[in-house]
Amino acid sequence: MKTTRLLALGLLACGPALAAPAADSLHFRTNDRSVTVRVADDQLSSADIQLSFKEDDTVRGQAFGRPVNLTVKDDTIRGTYGQRPVNLDVTDKEDTIDATGTFGGQVTSFQVSPQQITGTVGACSYELLITRHDRYEGYRTCAGKLDKSVSLTIPSSLADDEEELVTALSILLAQ
């Protein structure tokens, strides 16, 4: 279940907020944007993201002006992001989290391991390699445009909860 929450968060967090990274923050940077999301208890927050993970396996709130209504249960993430469907299957194989399906109506298939984050979310494909214990760096291609300076820093508080990590990454990488 922890794996599924993390995937959904990742897909939502790729908005245009600008901030400096902090130890308790998820930070995503590309050539043209920087997003920092504060991670606290069962919440993610920034100027553009306000999400709460509820005890009933739901994620509710807003991300980049879109309502988020997700159920995270039995290695799946189901619901809506904006008015578009979310239907992700999440598997945890040894040390790799694999997410496949749709997020916000976009085809999604990506993997997260201690060594790399690779795959496709909507119009973007990612190849990020670990450069230190909490930071991945590499490139992405979105709609044919190559961005060679992509970085993602994941705080240990988020990395320790697979469901929240998958949810967060799904949100970030989908933008």
Q: Could you tell me the pTM of the whole model?
A: 0.82
> What pLDDT, on the 0 to 100 scale, is given for residue 62?
95
Mean pLDDT of all residues in 79-101: 92
Task: Pick the closest to residue 153 from 23, 16, 3, 11 (CA basis).
Answer: 23
Region 133-143 average pLDDT: 92
Tell me what the pLDDT averaged over the chain comes to: 84
Q: Where are the alpha helices (DSSP H) in the chain?
A: 2-12, 156-159, 162-173
Percent of the chain at pLDDT above 70? Answer: 85
> 93 or 125: whose pLDDT is higher?
125
Model confidence pLDDT, tens digit, residues 23-69: 589 999 999 889 999 998 889 999 989 999 988 899 999 998 999 99
**Residue 77 near residue 85, CB atoms below 8 Å:** no
What does the pLDDT read at residue 115?
94
Assess contact for 35 and 74: CB atoms under 8 A: no
CA distance linking residue 171 with residue 68, whole number of Å: 10
